[in-house]
Amino acid sequence: MNDKIIEIEAGKRIVDLIGDKKYLAARVNGELRDINTEITEDVELNLIDFSTEEGKEIYWHSSSHVMAMAVKKLFPDAKLAIGPAIDQGFYYDFDKKEPFSPDDLAKIERKMKQIIDQDIPFERVVMKNKEILDFFEKRHESYKVQLIKEIEAEEISLYRNDDFADLCRGPHVPSTGYIHAFKLLSLAGAYWRGDVKETMLQRVYGISFPTQDQLNDYLKKIEEAKKRDHRKLGTELELFSIFEEAGAGLVHWHPKGATLRRIIEEYWIKEHLAADYQLNITPHIARGRLWHQSGHYDFYRDNMYALPVENEEYILKPMNCPGQILIYKSKVRSYRELPLKYAELGTVYRNELSGTLHGLLRVRGLTIDDAHIFCQPEQIEDELTKVLELAQKMLNKFGFHEFQVELSVRDPKDKEKYMGSDEEWERAEKGLIAALKRVGLEYKRMEGEAVFYGPKIDIKLLDALGREWQASTIQFDFNLPRRFDIEYMDRDGKHKQVVVIHRAIYGSLERFIGCLIEHYAGSFPLWLAPVQVVVMPITDKENRYAQQIVKRCKKQGLRVALNDKSEKINYRIREVEVSKVPYMLILGQREIVDKMVSVRKHKEGNLGQMKLKEFFSLLESEQGGEN
């Protein structure tokens, strides 16, 4: 929220007193309002501009209305669905018989420019439920009618711009002239309400900013992001495939991708063993009754795959939690064993809608680096601190040093929605805050964003383009300890309920690797590169020497490949450069005579001749700098 606070007298419109078009909306005594609202009593205002999250949402939502206005003027028969602001920009869904074309997008942009130049006011109108229902029925806006019928409030608001009107809570910018630089980005299909049984709508994505410079910077980032798209690079670098004949959302790792994944897994295992975690493995399927007991069956059934086994229902596991809990409960646990930390690279399966699947970022088969910490209440803060320290250390290793941290807590006005006592929630929240302070991580408090069974911390990575990626999660659970009666024997001989903390560092391996591909644009640091060195003889005469160099590289523990194809050397060098291998060793007659190697580095080119031992020292130095 903007820091500018002013007091305003009754009988005035906010916008008339500001005199600065950078302000988009305001909080009036804490309530979000349009700035063309007339004030009827003395109030205190917090003014909101584009630099705030609220300001961006208002600006982008207003832009979506401008786009919808343009579409209705150009294509009157198109029906309006929904048009929200999203993390980066906005979209609007339309039901239109003929698909939009790229030429249509250009027409819509031109019409939007005309609407913006007309500086048409956004007018908020409040109607009775029946009135607004009649209003949209007469306009044949069937999707708006459906939404209105589901609203229980007696009065509902819409926003009008001349003859255009849209069902909306608001707030909005004062007029269309507040929207300055904008661009329509892409077209996509989207089922109404994400349901494959409903109508397929046409979604138009866009972005807008207060200045052309901001838009230009964003579009440059978009172009760079396209070059870094993990789906494109995954194919070009032969890392992974998702085959239509095998099924959507199911990843097949090629040898190079499998190598990359193995490196990431081995590092994870090494760090977890050093941090006193015990590794376990749980089955991919379990009886349906286990998921009834855990509560997943009631809350998550639509996302689960069921299998009939000997007249009984089994479930492909969507979570790893129940299996790890059964291992904990396999015997009576003493307080002396706590904290007990179980970790698993567990593959799970989730029935995601096909329209939501996206490369490695949203899949149906995924491996989560799950861990569960079973501890006593007095151990909470120390264990949370250790988790945060481990997360920072591991994420730093992969080149991530900037994070957005969110603390999700329950809504204090709606406590009945959440499991657990006030004492448990307060203890858990205090533990999370204390741990964040101990490791020096700033955080954003998200009231009402906790899941029903406990508060949590989410760590979002910032990549090379400044984009956020969800990674680590640290989650309290007040649900499973009760459902499974998870206890330990205390020093007084009494059984007491254990505290359970779920946590993941990578999140899912699939999403984390997708993030890594885009962060590095496929040019992985030496320690992560699936192939670290390519040995390349110039002609067949150097093949024997090349094979000797390959053997010595392997003995040194390097991931090395031999490229002795018959193509010309310049072609092969370009080929390896495109494949983003960190180093090439070029071998000709001169290198054989001098017992040297000619070294080329990715993106830097020729480093000159050196002894093989010198090359190994160079790599050791580089890898040491990455640790």
| Full set of structural domains in the chain with CATH | 5-49 (no CATH), 56-224 (3.30.980.10), 240-282+320-520 (3.30.930.10), 533-626 (3.40.50.800)
527, 626 Cβ separation under 8 angstroms: yes
Per-residue CA distances from 608 to 370, 547, 560, 594, 604 (Å): 46, 21, 20, 13, 11
Give the pLDDT score at 2.
44
Give SS3 for 495. Answer: strand
Parts of the chain with a pLDDT under 70: 1-20, 43, 625, 627
Give the pLDDT score at 5.
47
b/e sequence 9-40, b meaning 16+ C-beta within 10 Å? eeeeebbeebeeeebbbbbbeeebbbbbbebe
Q: CB burial class (10 A; 0-12, 13-18, 19+) of residue 537?
A: buried
Give the pLDDT score at 11.
59
If one counts every other C-beta atom within 10 angstroms of the C-beta of residue 130, the result is 11
How many C-alpha atoms does 356 have within 13 Å on its Cβ side? Answer: 13
Closest C-alpha to 588, from 569, 566, 572: 569
Closest C-alpha to 204, from 101, 75, 116, 122: 101
261, 253 Cβ separation under 8 angstroms: yes
Query: Which CB contacts under 8 angstroms, 24+ apart, belong to 247-252?
Result: 247/364, 248/354, 248/357, 248/364, 249/352, 249/354, 249/357, 249/362, 249/363, 249/364, 249/365, 250/363, 250/364, 250/365, 251/360, 251/363, 251/365, 251/510
Strand 403-409 and strand 456-462: pairing? antiparallel
Give the pLDDT score at 38.
75
Per-residue CA distances from 607 to 587, 618, 620 (Å): 14, 11, 16
